[in-house]
Structures are given as C-alpha cells and as structure tokens.
Amino acid sequence: MSAPMEPFESQDKNDDDGPVIDSLFQEVNAPPKLSEATQPIIVKTLESPKVITRIISKDETIAPEWGAYMVLPADANRKSLNIAVYSPTSVETDGVRFSDEPGNIRTSAKVLHGDTVPITDHTGPVYAIATGAVNGSASAPVSLEIWSVTE
C-alpha cells in the first residue's frame, strides 16, 4: 500500500534552485578591459559580395499593324542593351522605330533590316513599332533579336 498524501502546505516550499544555480556563475556587468585581453582582437574587413549579372535575351516579331509595343520594361540595373533588326522577307527598307515611351515613337529614328543598335546607359522601358523607309509601314513583320545585361 502506498503512504497517505501529506497534508496541503506541509511540503518544503523553499525553492533554493535559483541561488544554487546563481552560485555556479560569476556575474559580470561590464566587458573585460582590453588591457587584460590575452589574445589580440583581429578586425576583419568584409569584402563586398560580387554582383551577379544576368543576360536577358529574346526574339520578338512585330507585325506592321501593331501599335507601340513594349519589348523591354524599365530596369534600373540594366548595364547594356543590343537590338538587332531583321526582316524575315529580307526587304531592305523594313525596320523598326525605338523609343522610351509610346507617345513619341512615330517620330523616333528608324533602324532598318540588318542593323544592330547598341544602347548604353538606358534603364527605362523600350518600345518598338514596325516601320518602313519608303511609305512609313513595313511590308511584313519585323524580327528583333534583343540582348540585355542586367544585375
């Protein structure tokens, strides 16, 4: 048989765990003095992480009946941009107009079939529209090969 339970509040109510544990540690409120350091403190300079760049390439075909078409969005980290223009029908007068906004694309310069345009220091969007050197309209869809380097 088991022993009867002790009456309520007759147990040892003194919890001495805290003082016993505290006696095992030395309390320090301040860091040690540098003159008492046994080893020199080495300060390492952090190296900046290498910036990873990405190559974004795409092949776009723009139909003559389309309006201004965004071929690349704005990218604050864009380093370089190359756009090559090709007419699938090899019509020398077919090309593309490029601009940073659709409102002024009709008056921007033409880039004709076979030309590659390197664009530097431009981080805004790039819009394009198919155009022709003769009557202002391309005779067929125009292809763009686009390479962009960005971080």
**What's the pLDDT at 76?**
93
**What's the pLDDT at 124?**
93
Which pLDDT tens digit goes with each residue over 2-38? 666 666 666 666 767 777 777 777 666 677 777 777 7
Checking if the pLDDT of 149 tops 80, the result is yes
DSSP of 44-108: PPPPPPPPPPEEEEEEEEE-TT---EEEE---TTEEEEEEEEE-TT--TTEEEEEESSGGGGGGS
Percent of the residues in the chain that have a pLDDT greater than 90, as a whole number: 27
Structure-block tokens of residue 114: 């076979």
Return d(Cα 66, Cα 94) in angstroms, integer: 14
* Model confidence band, residue 127 (pLDDT cutoffs 50, 70, 90): very high
* Model confidence band, residue 120 (pLDDT cutoffs 50, 70, 90): confident
Q: Domain residue spans in the chain? A: 54-150
**What's the pLDDT at 54?**
92
Statement: the pTM of the whole predicted model exceeds 0.75: no
Query: What three-state secondary structure class fits 20?
Result: helix
Query: Considering the domain 54-150, what is its CATH architecture?
Result: Sandwich (2.60)
Task: Name the phi and psi angles at 87, rounded to 5.
Answer: -100, 120
In one-letter notation, the amino acid at residue 80 is: S
Among 138, 134, 135, residue whose Cα is nearest residue 94: 138
Structure-block tokens of residue 149: 């380097």
* Model confidence band, residue 58 (pLDDT cutoffs 50, 70, 90): very high
**What's the pLDDT at 9?**
66
Checking if the pLDDT of 1 tops 60, the result is no
